[in-house]
Amino acid sequence: MKLLIFVLLMISITARISGGDRITGQPFATRSEVFSVHGMAATSHPLATEAALEILRAGGSAVDAAIAANACLGLMEPTGNGVGGDLFAIVWDQESQKLHGYNGSGRSPRSLSLEKLRSEVDALGRKDIPPHGTLPISVPGCVDGWTALHGRFGKLPLGGVLAPAIRHAKDGFPVTELIAHYWKISGRILAEQPGFTATFTRDGRTPEKGELWSNPDLAKTLEQIANQGRDGFYKGPVAEQIASFVQRHGGYLTVADLESHKGEWVEPVSTRYRDIEVWQLPPNGQGIAVLELLNIMEGFPVQEWGFGSAKLIHHFIEAKKLVFEDRAREYTDMEFYDVPVAHLISKKYANQLRDLIDPEKAMVRVDTGRSQTDQGDTVYLSVADSAGNMVSLIQSNYRGIGSGVCPPGLGFGLQDRGELFCLQDGHANLYAPGKRPFHTIIPGFATRDGKPWLSFGVMGGATQPQAQAWVLMNLIDFGMNLQEAGDAPRVVHVGSSQPTGSIMSDGGEVALETGFDAKVVDQLRKWGHTIGTRTGLFGGYQAVMRDFRKGVWVGASESRKDGHAAGY
């Protein structure tokens, strides 16, 4: 009895010293890491994670499993993704010991000129491209991405890979809590958009949490893709229905735009942070912002400052402002503009930017671009298989269910990614026909000593590069485990150089999650930062790590979302 009392006392003392009730690890950790031997999947929906494992158990590759999970998420989390959106991926191929990048973003309608777009925008009484309706619709790149990835790295027939999603679409699935919340918001915002109510409501009502939802129209679309591959989407009845419906409602997307679409295999680019090589895809996405940000932070005594310190947060925010000025000015489709990628991610350039940071004063005149890039709803997932292959995949409609335009009988909505084009003459991201818009969604990857170490991502508009860098510092500088690195409270800076009368100061606003010391917040205010809280701004994290020393996979999943990581 005395021994038992002693043990319980020591546990209590340990918990109090650590600042929380957890016996092991950081007090802010929501759960333990997940470990497995043969494979791992981490997604934002439990049934999508289970679909990935189902495919892995059937002998499928990591890519097969990732496509299966993505197809399920398009059904179960339409507030973040679907076949009407775009896709990016980084794949570690164990056989070739090489990383492969895929840019699956779609292009603008070739029949819509800049002059015509400007006249359409003027007629709406706007100065920029609207977020909803037919004008911001670009070609959906998701399905082409699936078939390209599957053609190179798949093992099972595409029909078998899509079978779980088709089954759930026919039989129904229970809607999870957070997804039900965002679905309801989409229902209010998009109710007037063509086809939305018929596709995503029942009698005008969006589903409640726990309510069974089926989508037989999407099941038919997925069956077309399963049977005919990319031609089942970009040619024939599906393509014709998409194009005719968009044009009927004043849009410009054509069957020719759909038929001619092709994604692109690209070489990932990297920088070294401490002893880790961090990999991203080059623009038109914002992935190199992660590399720029890490390069700047590498020159500071991050570990000495400590997690959550005022010095760390201040310098991180200031570095972000400088990087996002580059993002606003330079990131775009590289077929239309020579983005100086090598210069932007160089250590020399990082040294120049670092010298611009005042250690005790916030900058207020840094142009970080159009405010709507702070928006964005996305899904990120990661999968690894028994052969050692790893997939980092991200897929999105941009704003929730995207444009809200839903062609009848197909079961999905079309993205509004074209909203992110610029209409300013001379700008790198100026709209042009057949051009890919600036993109926010970025899959992340990291290697150690040339071996695959981490497949990870954090969804959420402009949050993504900030949160990816934050997670990596948690892992590398502060020694957090994979789950703790995602659970730790986050910092997100929003906007900068706002116009007079804005709700934010010229220096933008710093959003801090619960968990930072009040003294830290006070110090940040003294240095000139405007502090706020923005629920839902902090993103959604999934990650799979390879522990070579122990010979296991490690998985972690976002506590701010509905999903989980699981292995087999």
Q: Which residue has the tokens 């990999």?
A: 279
* Strands of the sheet with 531-532, listed across from one edge: 491-494, 509-512, 531-532
- Most distant pair of Cα atoms in the chain: their distance: 84
Q: What is the DSSP letter of 417?
A: G
Burial-class residue 2 by CB neighbours within 10 Å (0-12, 13-18, 19+).
exposed
pLDDT for the residue 532: 85
Per residue in 348-382, is it b (16+ CB within 10 Å) or e — as a string? ebbeebbeebeeeebbeebebbbbbbbbbbbbbbb
What is the reported pLDDT for 222? 98
For residue 6, the model assigns a pLDDT of 45
Q: Give the per-residue pLDDT at 367.
A: 62
Q: Which of 418-422, 507-511, 562-566 has the lowest mean pLDDT?
A: 507-511
pLDDT of 464 higher than 80: yes
Domain locations in the chain as residue ranges: 31-568
- State the Cα–Cα distance between residues 507 and 364, nearest whole angstrom: 4
Res 498: pLDDT: 38
pLDDT at residue number 377: 79
Question: Residue 190's pLDDT band (boundaries 50, 70, 90)?
Answer: very high
Block residue for tokens 């029942």: 202
Distance CA 103, CA 515 (A): 37
| 80 vs 12 pLDDT, higher one | 80
Question: Mean of the pLDDT values across residues 353-360?
Answer: 97
Q: Give φ, ψ of 389 to 5 degrees.
A: -75, 145
Residue 376 pLDDT: 53
Angstrom distances, CA of residue 499 to CA of 147, 293, 503, 507: 45, 26, 9, 11
Model pTM?
0.94
Average pLDDT over residues 522-544: 91
41: enclosing H helix or E strand: strand 40-43
In this predicted structure, what is the pLDDT of residue 508?
86
Closest CA to 531 of 514, 515, 508: 508
In this predicted structure, the answer to whether residue 188 has a pLDDT above a threshold of 60 is yes
What is the overall mean pLDDT for the chain?
Answer: 93
What tokens were used for 151? 């053609």
Q: Name the band, by pLDDT with cuts 50, 70 and 90, for residue 368.
A: low
Question: CA angle at residue 326 from 321 to 332, to 5 degrees?
Answer: 135
Q: Measure the N-to-C terminal CA separation of the chain; round to a whole number of Å.
A: 40
The answer, yes or no, to whether residue 504 has pLDDT greater than 90, is no
If you average pLDDT over residues 527-541, what whole number do you get?
A: 87
pLDDT digits (tens, 9 = 90+) for 271-317: 999 999 999 999 999 999 999 999 999 999 999 999 999 999 999 99
In b/e form, how buried is each residue of 459-476, taking b as 16+ CB within 10 angstroms?
bbbbbbbbbbbbbbbbbb
Judge whether residue 11 has pLDDT over 50. no
Asked whether the predicted pLDDT for residue 495 surpasses 70, the reply is yes
The residues with which 276 forms a beta bridge, in sequence order, are 273
Determine the Cα–Cα distance for residues 516 and 536; give it in Å rounded to an integer.
Answer: 17
Q: Rounded to the nearest 5°, which phi and psi values hold at 24?
A: -120, 150
Q: Which residue type occupies 24?
A: T
Q: What integer is the mean pLDDT of 481-487?
A: 97
The answer to whether 152 touches 116, Cβ cutoff 8 Å, is: no
pLDDT confidence band for 375 (50 / 70 / 90) = low
- 10 against 500, higher pLDDT: 10
Q: What pLDDT band is residue 38 in, cutting at 50, 70 and 90?
A: very high
A 10 A CB-CB count for 99 gives: 19
Confidence of residue 20 (pLDDT cuts 50, 70, 90): low
What is the pLDDT at residue 537? 85
- Give the amino acid at 314: H
Say if CB 288 and CB 346 are below 8 A apart.
Answer: no
Q: What gap in Å lies between CA 542 and CA 153, rounded to an integer?
A: 22
Q: What percent of the chain has pLDDT over 70?
A: 92
- What pLDDT does 18 receive? 40
Across the beta sheet with 390-398, what order do the strands follow? Answer: 264-266, 98-104, 86-93, 390-398, 377-384, 40-43, 564-567
3-state helix, strand, coil in the chain (%, to 5): 40, 20, 45
Q: How far is CA 221 from CA 104, 146, 166, 215, 276, in A?
A: 19, 14, 9, 10, 42
What is the pLDDT at residue 428? 96
Is the model more confident about 147 or about 499?
A: 147
**DSSP letters of 369-410?**
--GGGG--EEEEEEEE-TTS-EEEEEEEEESTTTT----TTT
pLDDT (0 to 100) of residue 536? 72
**In 132-287, where does DSSP find H-type helix?**
142-153, 158-171, 177-190, 196-200, 216-228, 231-234, 236-248, 255-260
List the catalytic residues: 378
